[in-house]
């Protein structure tokens, strides 16, 4: 079963010291151990606005993320607390508490922007926390959201169609929640009661006019509407009006808090517990604790090199790491299952090949389950090669076990014969007949031994060959035989030898055919499972593109409704491009699959090529021997 978290207290995940971001190794070690999918909730906002306190409530604790009781900011960098998800079984809830934004005591505000961007990239629910009301000022303070286009890239290279890279933010950005603390207004619009969500949406409506102040607050509005498709708002009363209690809030019992606040906080928590989504990267790639670790490390490393974190690169890094683990897991599964299911020697080669086919099918399934974005099937091909080598090893083991067993059986069965030869039992008149009887009885007894395996004929053949000269000297010395009978004996001996040789060759030929057939099965299995996976991945891509389209159409419609015709028309081109991309994906799906599968198929055949060529020569040699025998 996937492993979950075991953390008594939060720990710093991204340190922000001397204006340098770094990832705390102790925290990444914790994430590494978490193989469960994660729901990641990050809280961001101005300093000293009760963020850490709210996060502690999500962890179900009074204490945890340290709160500050002075005006100085408390939290530095990004802190993490992983707890078992309270309502999603086998999921981990990762809470990310961040350093307060906008603290004038801090030297360089640049890291504020990075912390904001990192929180967006790492979480699946982004909570923006502010005090008071959502007004111009609050929106101006949210200018970080407008900087995201400079701080996050979707693609590693500019898009071919020339559209802005940020048009795809919507496909991987988290859900957005605005939490408004110490909210003192009434939720009313033109005297009509409104919901918290309506309050937020209303506050996000663009304000007409050219006033620079208005423009400055319109930009964050647009960004939020464009980048975050799912938005929610929660307002909170002041937890208590007693300032003394407030300053010491983590130590006061729940029932001393304002009942309204209690209710609001509980609502917020239960919304997070039931609605916050599992973190998905893109195209359905589910994020586990371990994958989150890779993301944090990749993003912070990128920032430290002076570059901009790029989603596509992060996916590639993640895929490379995960796919090599997937190959290992699949190969181990194959070996374990083969070792468990095969009893050496198998009766026939086919028996071994059948077990191999079953284990290989399972191994490919394990690989498909754990891999993603395997560009050009590089990793799947590696798996094909590994399994090919492992299979070869099992075949060899099987042959060795068969030889060993057959040899020991023959040694036992021929023991008396060998003794009689050495003491001269057959060197008497009529000795040849006695010898023949003894030899035939060995052959018969040998044929009755079950499960001798693939080398049964060959081992017998070797034994008979080693007997040929002995047999010859026995009949030559046997005085009871006439010359005519000796000639018949000689002819019979060579005919029998030829027959036995043919039998061994016939078996070889059959086995070679079985091997070729097994390779074909393996090829088909690889292709079938790849096709299935490609279909699933394409389905996810189309789903994601449709979601983007739906969102953009909605934004466009809203702009039009609000009277911003020009802005709404500006989105036409972007929407047209997206529709075109969706059509192309759908239309090219079939031919794209065929091409990819053909290429992959021929590459696998070339992996098998060497044994196939060997087979070819064997087949040709065997058939020429047959022809020779037939004509003689
Ligand atoms: N007025 C008010 N104060 C709060 C609220 N929640 C917590 N506090 C108090 O505000 C102070 C700061 O709370 P924190 O949770 O540490 O705030 P923060 O936003 O995490 O602060 P930084 O980490 O410094 O950015 C503490 O003394 C809390 O007791 C609230 O809803 N309203
Ligand atoms: Mg804090």
Dist CA 292 CA 286 (whole Å) = 10
Dist CA 268 CA 234 (whole Å) = 7
From ligand 2's centre to the CA of 102, what distance in Å? 13
For residue 74, which atom of ligand 1 is closest to its CA?
24
Q: How many CA atoms lie within 13 A of 260 on its CB side?
A: 12
Dist CA 8 CA 77 (whole Å) = 20
Dist CA 604 CA 380 (whole Å) = 10
Per-residue model confidence (pLDDT) at position 217: 82
Ligand 1 neighbour 201 (Cβ under 6 A): no
Dump strand ranges (E) for 523-601: none
Determine the angle formed by the axes of helices 311-341 and 378-413, rounding to 10 degrees: 10
Ligand 1 neighbour 50 (Cβ under 6 A): yes
From ligand 2's centre to the CA of 132, what distance in Å? 18
Walk along the chain (632 residues) in steps of 10 and give the mean pLDDT of each run: 81 88 95 96 93 93 74 78 95 94 72 93 97 89 91 83 80 96 89 94 90 84 94 96 88 90 96 97 90 96 93 92 96 98 96 97 96 92 96 97 98 97 94 95 97 96 94 92 90 90 92 92 93 90 93 95 92 93 88 86 80 53 54 50
The H or E element spanning position 41 is strand 38-45
CA 294 to chain centre: 13
Dist CA 179 CA 121 (whole Å) = 19
Per-residue model confidence (pLDDT) at position 62: 75
Give the torsion through C-alpha atoms of 615, 621, 624, 628, to 10 deg.
Answer: -140
Burial string for 180-201 (b: 16+ CB within 10 Å, else e) reads bbbbeeeeeeeeeeeebeebbe
Per-residue model confidence (pLDDT) at position 631: 53
Q: How many CA atoms lie within 13 A of 470 on its CB side?
A: 18
Per-residue model confidence (pLDDT) at position 621: 55
Residue among 45, 53, 235, 237 whose CB has most ligand 1 atoms within 8 A, to mutate? 53
How many helices (H) and strands (E) would you count in the chain?
Answer: 19, 10
From ligand 1's centre to the CA of 51, what distance in Å? 6
Tell me the ligand closest to 101's alpha carbon. Answer: 1
Per DSSP, helices labelled H in 276-310 are 289-304
Q: Which residues surround ligand 2, an ion (CB under 5 A)?
A: 51-52, 74-75
Dist CA 299 CA 119 (whole Å) = 11
Residue tagged 């090919």 (tokens)? 388
Question: Residue 210 has which token pair?
Answer: 């050219």
Q: Apex CA 136: angle with CA 557 and CA 68, to 5°?
A: 120
What are the φ/ψ torsions at residue 40 (nearest 5 degrees)? -110, 120
Dist CA 240 CA 24 (whole Å) = 36
Tell me the ligand closest to 72's alpha carbon. Answer: 1
108 φψ region: left (φ > 0), alpha (ψ -120 to 50), beta (else): beta
From ligand 1's centre to the CA of 284, what distance in Å? 36
Ligand 1 neighbour 247 (Cβ under 6 A): yes
Contact (CB, 8 A) for 199 and 233? yes
Per-residue model confidence (pLDDT) at position 632: 47
Contact (CB, 8 A) for 309 and 299? yes
What are the φ/ψ torsions at residue 286 (nearest 5 degrees)? -80, 135
Query: Among candidates 521, 520, 530, 524, which has minimal Cα distance to 592?
Result: 530
From ligand 2's centre to the CA of 130, what distance in Å? 13
Ligand 1 neighbour 100 (Cβ under 6 A): yes
Query: Among candidates 547, 526, 542, which has minimal Cα distance to 589?
Result: 542
Query: Among candidates 155, 168, 157, which has minimal Cα distance to 581?
Result: 168
Q: Which long-range CB contacts under 8 A does 574-582 form with residues at least 24 apart?
A: 574/163, 574/164, 574/167, 575/549, 577/161, 577/163, 578/167, 578/545, 578/548, 578/549, 578/552, 579/549, 580/161, 581/161, 581/545, 582/542, 582/545, 582/546, 582/549
Per-residue model confidence (pLDDT) at position 473: 94
Contact (CB, 8 A) for 39 and 91? yes
Question: Residue 358 has which token pair?
Answer: 């079953």
Measured by CA distance, the residue closest to atom 23 of ligand 1 is: 75
DSSP-assigned letters across all residues of 317-360: HHHHHHHHHHHHHHHHHHHHHHHHH--SSPSSHHHHHHHHHHHH
């Amino acid at each position: 079963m996937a492993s979950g978290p075991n953390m008594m207290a939060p720990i710093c995940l991204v340190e922000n010291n001397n204006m340098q971001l770094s990832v705390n190794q102790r925290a990444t070690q914790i994430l590494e151990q978490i193989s469960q999918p994660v729901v990641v909730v990050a809280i961001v906002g101005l300093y000293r606005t009760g963020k850490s306190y709210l996060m502690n409530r999500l962890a179900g604790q009074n204490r945890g993320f340290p709160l500050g009781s002075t005006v100085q900011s408390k939290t530095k960098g990004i802190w993490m607390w992983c707890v078992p998800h309270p309502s999603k079984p086998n999921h981990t809830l990762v809470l990310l508490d961040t350093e307060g934004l906008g603290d004038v005591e801090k030297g360089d505000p640049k890291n504020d922007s990075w912390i904001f961007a990192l929180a967006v990239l790492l979480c699946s629910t982004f909570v923006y926390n502010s005090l008071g009301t959502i007004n111009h000022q609050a929106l101006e303070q949210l200018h970080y959201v407008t900087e995201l286009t400079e701080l996050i890239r979707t693609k590693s290279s500019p898009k071919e169609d020339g559209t802005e890279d940020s048009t795809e933010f919507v496909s991987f950005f988290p859900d957005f929640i605005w939490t408004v603390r110490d909210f003192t207004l009434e939720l009313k619009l033109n005297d009509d009661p409104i919901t918290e969500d309506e309050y937020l949406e209303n506050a996000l409506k663009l304000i007409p006019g050219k006033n620079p102040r208005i423009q400055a607050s319109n930009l964050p509005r647009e960004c939020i509407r464009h980048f975050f498709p799912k938005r929610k708002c929660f307002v909170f009363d002041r937890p208590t009006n007693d300032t003394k209690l407030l300053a010491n809030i983590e130590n006061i019992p729940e029932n001393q808090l304002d009942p309204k606040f209690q209710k609001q906080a509980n609502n917020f928590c239960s919304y997070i517990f039931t609605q916050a989504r599992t973190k998905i990267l893109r195209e359905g790639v589910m994020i586990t604790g371990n994958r989150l670790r890779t993301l944090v490390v990749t993003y912070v490393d990128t920032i430290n090199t002076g570059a901009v974190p790029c989603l596509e690169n992060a996916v590639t890094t993640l895929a490379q790491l995960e796919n090599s683990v997937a190959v290992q897991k699949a190969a181990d599964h194959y070996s374990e299952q083969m070792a468990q299911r095969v009893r050496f020697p198998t009766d026939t080669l086919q028996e071994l090949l059948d077990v191999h086919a079953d284990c290989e099918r399972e191994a490919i399934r394990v690989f498909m389950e754990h891999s993603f974005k395997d560009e050009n099937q590089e990793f799947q091909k590696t798996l094909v090669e590994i399994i090919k080598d492992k299979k070869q090893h099992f075949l060899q083991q099987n042959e060795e076990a068969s030889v060993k067993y057959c040899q020991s059986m023959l040694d036992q069965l021929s023991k008396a014969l060998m003794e009689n030869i050495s003491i001269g039992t057959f060197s008497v008149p009529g000795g040849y007949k006695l010898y023949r009887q003894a030899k035939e009885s060995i052959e018969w007894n040998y044929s009755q031994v079950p499960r001798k395996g693939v080398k049964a004929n060959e081992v017998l053949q070797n034994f008979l060959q080693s007997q040929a000269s002995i047999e010859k000297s026995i009949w030559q010395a046997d005085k009871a035989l006439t010359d005519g009978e000796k000639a018949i004996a000689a002819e019979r001996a060579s005919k029998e030898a030829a027959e036995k040789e043919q039998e061994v060759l016939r078996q070889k030929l059959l086995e070679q055919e079985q091997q070729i057939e097994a390779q074909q099965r393996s090829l088909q299995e690889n292709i079938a499972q790849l096709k299935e996976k490609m279909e699933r991945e394409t389905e996810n891509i189309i789903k994601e593109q449709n979601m983007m389209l739906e969102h953009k159409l909605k934004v466009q419609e809203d702009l039009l409704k609000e009277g911003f015709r020009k802005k709404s028309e500006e989105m036409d081109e972007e929407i047209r491009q997206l529709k075109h991309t969706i059509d192309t994906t759908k239309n090219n799906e079939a031919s794209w699959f065929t091409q990819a599968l053909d290429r992959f198929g021929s590459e696998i055949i070339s992996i098998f090529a060497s044994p196939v060529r060997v087979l070819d020569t064997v087949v040709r040699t065997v058939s020429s021997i047959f022809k020779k025998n037939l004509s003689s």
